[in-house]
Structure 1
C-alpha cells in the first residue's frame, strides 16, 4: 500500500507545482492583479532584447508583422501623410493596425504594441475625419468645457480607426508668432494654456479625485492615451525659430512655460514628449535636471517620456552589455511604457473592432466643431465708425461678392497637419464646408452670390454689389517650414483687399495661424475678422457673419503693429499693440 501511495503523492505534488508555475506565468496577464505586480512580473521575464524593443517606436511604413515579432517593437506611429491608402476608410485603418498588432501578439510574451498618431486638431491624418479649429483659435474660446468635448470627440474618431495613442495636446506657450508652430499653441498666456489642458480628460477620461499625482489614466476602449508636448519652453525660442534656443531665467521658465505641465500631470496625462529645443544653450533631451530631477522626481511623473527619435537597437544593446548604460535605466524606461499599456487595457483588448467606425466625421462631432469655430472667431473691427457697424450682414440683399484665395479652399481653411504634414490646398483633401459654401447655404434664396477669387477694381465697381466678403490669409505650413520673420499675407491677398475694399463695403476674414501684418490695410476695410484656422466646418464662420450667433471671442494673443515689436506679450513693460491681448468686439444675434 505504501509503495502505491508514494508515487501518487509525487504525481499530485508535481501537478500542483505545474499549476502554480502556470498561474505565476500568467500573472501579468491577469487584470485582477495589482498594477505594480503585473509590471514587476512581466519585467522579470523579459530579455534585454525584449526590453529594448519596447523602447523603440517605428514608422508604419516599415512596421510589418515580421519586424514587430523579430525586434519586439513596442510602438508604431503614423507620421504626417503616412496612411494605409489614399482616402483610406476607418475599416482600412483598423485592418492595418490589427495586422501590425498581430505581429506583436505572436511574440513569446505577447506584449501588445501601442499605435500613435498626430491627432492635433481631430484625427487629422484621416480622410472624412472632423477637423477642429487649431489650438490658436481654441484658446480664444476660453471654454474648458468645449475643449473637453473636443477631446472626447477626437478620442472616438481616433479609436474609430483602431489607434490608441495621440501625440496631443501641444501645450506650448507661444511667445513669438514668428514661430512656425504658434498655431499649435493656445495662447501666449500660461493661464489659458493651463485651462485648455481640460482636453486631456476629454481624450483619456476623468481621473478619480483620490488618484496619485503622476499616474496615467485611460478609461477604456473609447479613450486614447494623450501626450503633452513639447517639454519645455519650445514656445519661447529666440525670434521664434523652431527647435532653437529659449533664453530665459529658471524662475521665468517655471512661471511661463511650466504651468500647463503641472495641470497635465494632475489630470493623468499618459506621456510627455521632450522638445528638440534648448534652454539657455542646453538641448532639452540632454537636460538631466529638467527631465529627470524636475519632471520625474519633483513632479512625480511616473509615466513614459517618448523622446523624438528612434533608438537604434544594436547600439543600445551594445551600450548596456558594455556597462555604458546601466540595466536599471532600461528597466525604468520599460516600466513606464508597460504601465501605460496596462492602465489603458491593451493587454485585455489589443485588437480593434468595427464598433466605432460610424464615429468618424459624425454629424454630432461636426456640430461640436462648428460651435468651436463660432467661439474662436475674433471681431477686430466693425464699421468705419462705432455708430455704423457692418456686421452682422443681412441675409437678404441684391448681390454679395465673395472674393479671396481662401474663400473656397478647404485645405487653406484647415491649415497644416491636415491629411499631410504641411497641409494642402484645394477642396479634394477631405470632406467639409468651405466659407463660400457656407455663405451660399446661409443667405436668403433671393440673394445672389458672385464668387471671384481675385477681382480687379473695375469688376467690383461695375457690378453694383451690396457688400463683399474677402477671405485671405496664409498658405498651410507646419513646424520649421512655417517660421517667418516678416509675417506678411502672401499675394494676391493684399491686392484683393485693395481692389475690393477700395470700391465697396467689405468684411475681411483672415485665415491665419497667428497674428499677421494687417495695419497697412486696416483703414481700407469696414470690418475685420480673425478666423484663424477653423477646420472643416466653415459654416461656423457664416453663422457669425450673418448674425445667427453673436461674436464673443477675445484675443488670446497680442496683435502687433509691426514685426519690429516682436516678441511682445501682455504684461511687457513696452506694450503698444495694434490689438491688445483680450480684445474682441461683440455683436448680438439677429432675429429673422
Structure 2
C-alpha cells in the first residue's frame, strides 16, 4: 500500500527560507505521468538563488592559464576521468595522466574492504608519485584521492566512527557539525587522502529510501544550517591562513540535486516534483555550501521529471555554475553517466557537454578515456568545454596546495595513528551520540536509571559496534564485523558496563533475552541491520524485527520490570508494538563507535546531561506513512519534527494502535524472484511455449516439478525432453540498471539431478535478442551460485528493461534443480561471470 499523493510545497515554507523568498514564483504540482519534455522538466535559472561564493584568486587563475597552455590534449582528457583503486594501477595513472583516484566502499588496498594506515599510505604514495612523474610530458599534475568518509573515516581501521547524519540532524547543532567535519578531515590526512565525498545535503522526503540516514533532516532549514559549516570544517575558511592547510581536505557537496525526492523513495530514481520543490527543498544545503566555498559538487544518480542529473545542462551549467556561481568542479557518481539515454559506461560525451567536469568511471575508465579523446578530437566535445572542465579541476588542485605538498606519507599528520580515535575525537563522538538521542517515551519517568541496579541487557545491537554504526562502515554495506575491528571503539553494552559496575551495580548480558535472569530493569538494544544505498530501499516503513525477537519485550516486563528500548535505525520506522511494550523508548539512530554516549543518558552520568535531541524526521503513525514531512502541513505523524522529551517531562501516553495500515498482501521485495517455493510478483514460471500454471507441469519438451532443498517443495526441478528454455519471467520490463551498476549478483541454489554437468544460465530483456548466458558447472549436491549482474549487462542485456530474471537452457536428458532465486550484494567484491 503506497501513499503516492504529493502536496506541493506551501508558500509558508518559502517565507522561512530567506534565500528563496525573493523569487516570487509558484508552479503547478508535477504529475507523475507528464512526459519529460513538458514544462515540468523546464528549468528557469533566474528563479534560483543567486549565491556569492568566495572570489576567484587572480594568482591561481593565472597559474591555471600557464598550466593549461602546457598540457597535451591527452592530458586534458585524463584529468576529467577518475578511476577506482580496485581497477587502476600506478602505471595506468602515469600512462593516462588521470586526474583522480577514488576508493569505493569496498575498494581499499589489500584483501579487505578497509585497510590500516600504512597500507593506505603506501597506495597513496604510489599513485601520487606516478602522477607527478615528468617522463613524456611538459608538466605533470598530481592526482587527488577521494573516499566516502561520510560519518568519519570509516574505511580506515581505528578511525573514529561518528553518528550517521540522521542522528546529527536530531542534535541540531551547527557548531558540533563543524567540529566533527574538522576531526574527520584530520583523520583523513593520516591515511593520505585528499578528498571526501561529503557532505551529503539530501533532504529525504520518503523514508523508504535506503539513504535516508545520510540526510540530516526532512526539513531544508536544518540541512541549510549545516551545509556551509561542514565545508568550513573540512577545508577551512577560504582566504584565511588555515584554508587547506595541515589536517584539511577537499569537500564534495552531494548529490546535486533532488536525490532525496525521488518517487516512492527509490534510490537513483526519478523526482517527479515541481521546479519550486526541487529548488526550495532539495537545493537548500547547496546555497550555504557554495557560499562557504565548496570546491566540488557531486552530480546525483537520480533524475528530475525523466531527465538524468548527469545529463542535465540546465541544472549543472545554467543553475549551479551560472546562477549559483559555483566555481569548483562537478564530479559524477559511480558510472552515473551511463544512465543517460544513448550513453554507456565507456562512452558519454553528453555528460561532459552538460556540465560534468570529472567522470567517476571506476572500472570503465580506460574505455571512457579512449572515447572521450576521440570526441575531443572530432569536436563532439568542444575544446572550450573540455578546457573549462580542466580549468575547474586545476583551480581546486592549486587552491588545495597539491602542487607544493610532498607525497602523502610526508605530509603533516600522515601515519600518526595516535590521531585516530584520539581522546579528543572520541570525546567529540561521545558528545555527538548524547546530543543525537531522542527520547520518545518515558512513562513513569523511568529514565534516568539508577546505575546501582541489576541491569539485564538484551538484543543483538548491544554488543555490536558494527550494527550500531550502520552502512558505510569498514565496508560499503557495513555490518558483520567483530568489535575487535574497531580499536578504540566501545559498544553500547560496554558503555553500560562501565557505568553500572563503577556504581556497584551488576550487568547481565543475554542477547536473545531467553535466560529468565532476574533484574531490576531491562535494557533492550535492537533495530535495523546495516545497509547502504539502494540495498536499503524498502516497500514500507514497518520495522521487521531481526536478530532479536521484540515479541519477548512484553514477557520480560510482565512482572513489572521496567523495559527500556534503545532503537537503532537509519530512518524513523513504525514501531508501535515495540513502543507499547516499553516503558521508555529511545531513538538512537546509528550512533557509531562510541556507545558510551548512550549509557551517559540512560544513567545521567553527569548532572548536566539530559536528552536534548529532537526529531529531524517525522515519526510515522502507520507503516504506510513514508511521506509525512514538515514541508506538508497536512501530514499527521505520530511524533512531529522537533518532538523529543527531556528527563523531567511527564508525558504518559496510553497504548498506541497496532494496526500498521499495510494491506494483507504486501508485494515481495524487488530482488526476490522465486523463494519459498513460489514465484514473487510480477515474476512467473515459463517455458519457451509459455506460462506454467500449477505444478507438476509437463509438455512434449519439458517437465517441471517441486522438490525439496531446505524445506518441503521449496525448489524446482526442470527435466528437459528436447532442447528448451525455462525462465522466471515478468509480463512487463523491470528496471535493474542501478543494481547492475552497484555490485549486485543473481544468486540461487542449484544442482544437477542427473550427475555433474554444465548448464547455461542467463538473463534477458524485453527486446528481441536481448539476452545473454553464462556457463555454470553443477554438482550433484545443492550449492549456492552467484553471477554478477554486470556480467550480463556487459554481454548485451539491457538491465533497465529486464523481463527474464533467470533463463536455463537445457538439453535432452538433463534435469536441473534450482531454488531461492534472488538478487543480493556481491559477497566478495569480485564480479563472478560463471565457470566452464
TM, length-normalised to structure 2: 0.63
**Superposed displacement of residue 500, structure 1:** 2.5
Q: Deviations over 1:208-254 (max 9, x none)?
A: 49x9xxxxx94213200000000001001111110101111111211
Give the whole-Å Cα distance in 1 for the aligned partners of 2:552 and 2:463.
14
> Is the contact between residue 183 and residue 513 of structure 1 (CA under 8 Å) also seen in structure 2?
yes
Number of aligned residue pairs: give it: 543
Partner of 1:145: 175
> Is the contact between residue 54 and residue 74 of structure 1 (CA under 8 Å) also seen in structure 2?
yes
Give the whole-Å Cα distance in 2 for the aligned partners of 1:282 and 1:335.
27
**Superposed displacement of residue 408, structure 1:** 0.6
Give the whole-Å Cα distance in 2 for the aligned partners of 1:68 and 1:33.
30
Q: 1:511 is matched with which residue: 568, 571, 582? A: 568
Partner of 2:766: none
- Indicate whether 1:203 and 2:234 are aligned: yes
Query: Secondary structure in 2 aligned to 1:183?
Result: helix
> Is the contact between residue 501 and residue 507 of structure 2 (CA under 8 Å) also seen in structure 1?
no
**Superposed displacement of residue 126, structure 1:** 0.7
**Superposed displacement of residue 64, structure 1:** 2.1
**Superposed displacement of residue 427, structure 1:** 2.1
Partner of 2:116: 89
Change (3 A) 1:355 1:89: farther
> Is the contact between residue 200 and residue 269 of structure 1 (CA under 8 Å) also seen in structure 2?
yes
**Superposed displacement of residue 416, structure 1:** 0.1
Give the whole-Å Cα distance in 2 for the aligned partners of 1:99 and 1:370.
36
Q: Deviations over 1:66-98 (max 9, x none)?
A: 111100011001111222234633233112101
Query: Secondary structure in 1 aligned to 2:440?
Result: strand
Partner of 1:451: 509
Q: 2:461 is matched with which residue: 391, 406, 410? A: 406
Q: Deviations over 1:120-144 (max 9, x none)?
A: 0000111000000000000011111
Change (3 A) 1:332 1:34: same
Partner of 2:656: none
Mean Cα deviation higher: 564-573 or 252-261: 564-573
Give the whole-Å Cα distance in 1 for the aligned partners of 2:302 and 2:116.
36
Give the whole-Å Cα distance in 2 for the aligned partners of 1:547 and 1:277.
44
> Is the contact between residue 179 and residue 483 of structure 1 (CA under 8 Å) also seen in structure 2?
yes
- Give the unaligned 5+ runs of structure 2: 1-56, 336-360, 650-836
> Is the contact between residue 445 and residue 647 of structure 2 (CA under 8 Å) also seen in structure 1?
no
Q: Deviations over 1:163-199 (max 9, x none)?
A: 1100001010011110000000000001100111211
Give the whole-Å Cα distance in 2 for the aligned partners of 1:519 and 1:39.
59
Give the whole-Å Cα distance in 1 for the aligned partners of 2:449 and 2:271.
45
Partner of 1:568: 628
> Is the contact between residue 469 and residue 508 of structure 1 (CA under 8 Å) also seen in structure 2?
yes
Give the whole-Å Cα distance in 2 for the aligned partners of 1:442 and 1:428.
21
- Give the unaligned 5+ runs of structure 1: 1-31, 212-216
Partner of 1:220: 245
Query: Secondary structure in 2 aligned to 1:305?
Result: strand
Query: Secondary structure in 2 aligned to 1:34?
Result: helix
Q: Deviations over 1:291-318 (max 9, x none)?
A: 1100011111111101123251110111
Partner of 2:427: 367
Give the whole-Å Cα distance in 2 for the aligned partners of 1:499 and 1:579.
26
> Is the contact between residue 220 and residue 282 of structure 2 (CA under 8 Å) also seen in structure 1?
yes
- Indicate whether 1:330 and 2:386 are aligned: yes
Partner of 2:594: 537
Give the whole-Å Cα distance in 2 for the aligned partners of 1:493 and 1:280.
42
Partner of 1:288: 313
Give the whole-Å Cα distance in 2 for the aligned partners of 1:411 and 1:193.
26
Q: Deviations over 1:18-72 (max 9, x none)?
A: xxxxxxxxxxxxxx98111110000011111000001111111233221111000
> Is the contact between residue 122 and residue 131 of structure 1 (CA under 8 Å) also seen in structure 2?
yes
**Superposed displacement of residue 421, structure 1:** 0.1
> Is the contact between residue 160 and residue 421 of structure 2 (CA under 8 Å) also seen in structure 1?
yes
Give the whole-Å Cα distance in 2 for the aligned partners of 1:234 and 1:99.
35
Query: Secondary structure in 2 aligned to 1:494?
Result: coil
- Indicate whether 1:102 and 2:143 are aligned: no
Mean Cα deviation higher: 356-365 or 185-194: 356-365
Give the whole-Å Cα distance in 2 for the aligned partners of 1:495 and 1:45.
69
Q: Deviations over 1:416-457 (max 9, x none)?
A: 00000000224243221111111000114431211111123x
Change (3 A) 1:238 1:493: farther
**Superposed displacement of residue 110, structure 1:** 1.9
Partner of 1:50: 75
**Superposed displacement of residue 573, structure 1:** 3.6
Moved over 4 A (4+): none
- Indicate whether 1:468 and 2:522 are aligned: yes
Aligned pairs for 1:14-53 (under 5 A) are 34-53=59-78
Partner of 1:584: 644
Query: Secondary structure in 1 aligned to 2:455?
Result: strand
- Indicate whether 1:314 and 2:370 are aligned: yes
Give the whole-Å Cα distance in 2 for the aligned partners of 1:282 and 1:561.
34
Aligned pairs for 1:342-491 (under 5 A) are 342-352=398-408, 353=410, 355-356=412-413, 357=416, 358-383=418-443, 388-397=444-453, 399-425=454-480, 426-431=482-487, 432-445=489-502, 446-456=504-514, 459-460=515-516, 463-487=517-541, 488-491=543-546
Give the whole-Å Cα distance in 1 for the aligned partners of 2:71 and 2:271.
40
Give the whole-Å Cα distance in 2 for the aligned partners of 1:552 and 1:33.
46
Query: Secondary structure in 1 aligned to 2:508?
Result: strand
Query: Secondary structure in 2 aligned to 1:92?
Result: helix
Give the whole-Å Cα distance in 1 for the aligned partners of 2:589 and 2:68.
47
> Is the contact between residue 112 and residue 350 of structure 1 (CA under 8 Å) also seen in structure 2?
no
**Superposed displacement of residue 320, structure 1:** 1.5
Query: Secondary structure in 2 aligned to 1:561?
Result: coil
> Is the contact between residue 540 and residue 624 of structure 2 (CA under 8 Å) also seen in structure 1?
no
Partner of 2:273: 248
Query: Secondary structure in 1 aligned to 2:168?
Result: helix
Q: 2:584 is matched with which residue: 515, 527, 532? A: 527
Aligned pairs for 1:170-189 (under 5 A) are 170-189=200-219
